[in-house]
Amino acid sequence: MGFDFDIFFEQLFSSSYLKGALLSIGVAVVSLVIATAIGFVVALGRVGKSQFGRVPAGAYVWFFRAIPALLVLLIMWNALPQILPSLRSDWYSPFVAASIGLGLVEAAFMAEIIRSALLSVDDGQPLAGRALGMKPATVMLKVTIPQAIRIALPPTTNEFIGLIKYSSLASVISLRELLTTAQVGVNITFRYAEYYSVAIIYYLVIVSVITVFQTMIERRFAWISVKPTKKRKAESVPAGGLA
């Protein structure tokens, strides 16, 4: 049968793959936003002194790290609308269900990333903020969080890439994301190599773009006045700087 490049290129630039890829990215972005918001609150509960925060936060992490994401998606799509009639309406699409479901699961992992990032900020930092008369919320916002973000960035990028792939689980709730698009095409044509290759290309492009963004954002968190660029040599550093 051989590898048919015509089929390959035809699919590579087809709207169904592009739509599938955008759905995958969309689910990943929305669930990461949900996961970061919930994860931050859970992380605060876990690093806090109060048992009222620690116990429920610990329970959240315990529960959602234990349950397979696939099961959560099935519950979100099949079980919940049976219990909650309000979910039996148009707005509750596979996209919404998948984003919330993956977001809830991912929040447990983001909570641990954010917790370790908060804990890795030097004790002297909040101390200095407090000594300047900052209230607890200001210390958190202006001193601790900016430093924690830098530490949380690389593992969060990992999680984001993971979410792109996890979005393929949403095929069980009939979301036609990237991998499902390939699978559907294969089922019709039996051109496995061509359709899977197109999926590979899409995943590679998506992760490449994410990596470029990661580099750009991490550069913003370099905390140096002279941004390193390829052309700049040591002598162009302002006189007396960086001795």
| 138 touches other proteins (CB under 8 A) | yes
| 49 touches other proteins (CB under 8 A) | no
| 132 touches other proteins (CB under 8 A) | yes
Total site size for other proteins, rule CB under 8 A: 27
CB of 213 to other proteins, least distance (A): 20
| 128 touches other proteins (CB under 8 A) | yes
CB 76: neighbour CB atoms within 10 A? 23
Site string for other proteins, 163-202 (x = CB under 8 A): ----------------------------------------
For other proteins, the closer CB: 79 or 127: 127
Residue 215 CB partners (closer than 8 Å, separation 6+): none
CB of 131 to other proteins, least distance (A): 4
Site string for other proteins, 98-127 (x = CB under 8 A): ------------------------x-xx-x
For other proteins, the closer CB: 66 or 131: 131
For other proteins, the closer CB: 216 or 243: 243
| 136 touches other proteins (CB under 8 A) | yes
